[in-house]
C-alpha cells in the first residue's frame, strides 16, 4: 500500500465546470450550491484524514439528486477530473488498486460515501482510484460501531512504511498453499496500524491474498526451478533476495507480494519442492 498524490486541480472550479455542463434547471440549482460546496470542501480538507466527525448535511431529495448527478451523469469536465487524478500518480501506484494491491483500479471509490455525503461526489480528495472488488466491499460502511474509520485515506493518512506487519506462511503438504496474517506486535497501539488492521478486516484482504497467491506461487515455483537449473540453489536464493529487497523498496512492507516472497525465502521445503519438481503445464498457464 502506497500513498496517492493529491490532484492539483482547483476543486471549486471543477465543481463549477461540472455544474455548468448540466442542463437547465439542474445547472442553475447546482450553481446556487457553490458557496455551500466551497465551505464543505474546506471543512473536508481541514479535517483530513480524521473525517469521522464530518456531519451529514440536511439536504432535500432534489438537492441530493442534483449533487449525486454531478458524478453519476457523464460530463466532459468529470472525465477530465478522473483522467487528471490518474495522471497525477506514479505508474506503479496507478497500475494496481492501492486499497488491496491486487487488481487494476478500474473504478473510483468515494471515501466518504456519496449516498451519505453527496456534496463530495466530485471532490478530488474524496475520489480514490480503486478496484471493483474493494469498491463493492467498502459500500457505505466507512466507520465501525465505535465511530472509527475503517479504511486508509490514500491521500492524507501518513502510511507508515517502517514496520512490516503482514506475513505469509507456506505449507507444502500436497500442493503449496499460502496463508496470510497480520502481526502488529509492538505497534499494536499505534493509531495507523490499528486503522490498517480495520482496513484489512473490512476488505477481507487476508483471504483475498490467499486466493491470489496460488498463481503467484506458481510463478515463484517456475522461477526457482529455472534459476536452480542454471545457477544452483545458492544462485537462485541470491536472485530471490535481491528481488525481495527491490519489491520492498517499490511496493512497501504492507504488500502481499512482499510477504509472500519473504515466506518463499523462509520456507526451505518450498524451495526444494520447486527445485525438484517441474512446473506443470497447467501451472504455467495459471501463472501467466
User: 131 or 152, CB closer to Zn ion?
Assistant: 131
User: 99 or 123, CB closer to Zn ion?
Assistant: 99
CA–CA dist 161, 251 (Å, integer):
10
Regarding 96 and contact with Zn ion (CB under 5 A), the answer is no
CA–CA dist 150, 152 (Å, integer):
7
Regarding 212 and contact with Zn ion (CB under 5 A), the answer is no
Q: Which stretch binds Zn ion (CB under 5 A): 50-58, 95-103, 212-220, 275-283?
A: 95-103
Q: Which of 4, 97, 122, 258 binds Zn ion (CB under 5 A)?
A: 97
φ and ψ at residue 287, rounded to 5 degrees: -85, -5
User: 67 or 100, CB closer to Zn ion?
Assistant: 100
CB count within 10 Å of CB 253 equals 17
Q: Give the shortest CB-255-to-Zn ion separation in angstroms.
A: 12
CA–CA dist 188, 200 (Å, integer):
14
Regarding 256 and contact with Zn ion (CB under 5 A), the answer is no
Residue 180: strand, helix, or coil: strand
Sign of torsion, CA 203 205 206 210? positive
- Listed in sequence order, the residues at least 6 apart from 183 whose beta carbon sits closer than 8 Å to its beta carbon are 165, 167
Regarding 180 and contact with Zn ion (CB under 5 A), the answer is no
Site for Zn ion in 44-73 (CB under 5 A): none
Q: Give the shortest CB-238-to-Zn ion separation in angstroms.
A: 33
What stretch of H or E contains 167?
A: strand 166-171
CA–CA dist 91, 85 (Å, integer):
12
Binding pattern to Zn ion, positions 121-160, x when CB under 5 A? ----------x--x--------------------------
Regarding 260 and contact with Zn ion (CB under 5 A), the answer is no
Q: Which stretch binds Zn ion (CB under 5 A): 63-71, 80-88, 92-100, 157-165?
A: 92-100
Q: Which stretch binds Zn ion (CB under 5 A): 33-41, 47-55, 96-104, 265-273?
A: 96-104
9 contacts 81 by C-beta, under 8 angstroms: yes
Q: Site residues (CB under 5 A) for Zn ion?
A: 97, 99-100, 131, 134
Amino acid at each position: 500500500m502506497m500513498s496517492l498524490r493529491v490532484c492539483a486541480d482547483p476543486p471549486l472550479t471543477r465543481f463549477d465546470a461540472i455544474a455548468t455542463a448540466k442542463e437547465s434547471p439542474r445547472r442553475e440549482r447546482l450553481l446556487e450550491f457553490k458557496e455551500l460546496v466551497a465551505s464543505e470542501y474546506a471543512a473536508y480538507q481541514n479535517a483530513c484524514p480524521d473525517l469521522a466527525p464530518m456531519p451529514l448535511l440536511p439536504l432535500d431529495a432534489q438537492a441530493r439528486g442534483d449533487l449525486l448527478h454531478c458524478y453519476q451523469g457523464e460530463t466532459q469536465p468529470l472525465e477530465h477530473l478522473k483522467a487528471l487524478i490518474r495522471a497525477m500518480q506514479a505508474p506503479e501506484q496507478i497500475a494496481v488498486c492501492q486499497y488491496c494491491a491486487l487488481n487494476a483500479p478500474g473504478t473510483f471509490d468515494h471515501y466518504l460515501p456519496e449516498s451519505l455525503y453527496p456534496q463530495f461526489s466530485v471532490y478530488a480528495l474524496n475520489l480514490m482510484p480503486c478496484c471493483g472488488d474493494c469498491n463493492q466491499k467498502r459500500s457505505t460502511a466507512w466507520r465501525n460501531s465505535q465511530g472509527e474509520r475503517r479504511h486508509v485515506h490514500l491521500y492524507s493518512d501518513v502510511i507508515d512504511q517502517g514496520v512490516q506487519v503482514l506475513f505469509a506462511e507456506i505449507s507444502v503438504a500436497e500442493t503449496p498453499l499460502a496463508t496470510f496474517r497480520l502481526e502488529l506486535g509492538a505497534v499494536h497501539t499505534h493509531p495507523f496500524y490499528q486503522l490498517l488492521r480495520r482496513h484489512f478486516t473490512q476488505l477481507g484482504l487476508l483471504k483475498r491474498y490467499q486466493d491470489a497467491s496460488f498463481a503467484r506461487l506458481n510463478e515463484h515455483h517456475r522461477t526457482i526451478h529455472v534459476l536452480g537449473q542454471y545457477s544452483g540453489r545458492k544462485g537462485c536464493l541470491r536472485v530471490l533476495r535481491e528481488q525481495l529487497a527491490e519489491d520492498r523498496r517499490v511496493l512497501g512492507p504492507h504488500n502481499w507480494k512482499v510477504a509472500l516472497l519473504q515466506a518463499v525465502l523462509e520456507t526451505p521445503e518450498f524451495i526444494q519442492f520447486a527445485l525438484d519438481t517441474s512446473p506443470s503445464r497447467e501451472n504455467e498457464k495459471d501463472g501467466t
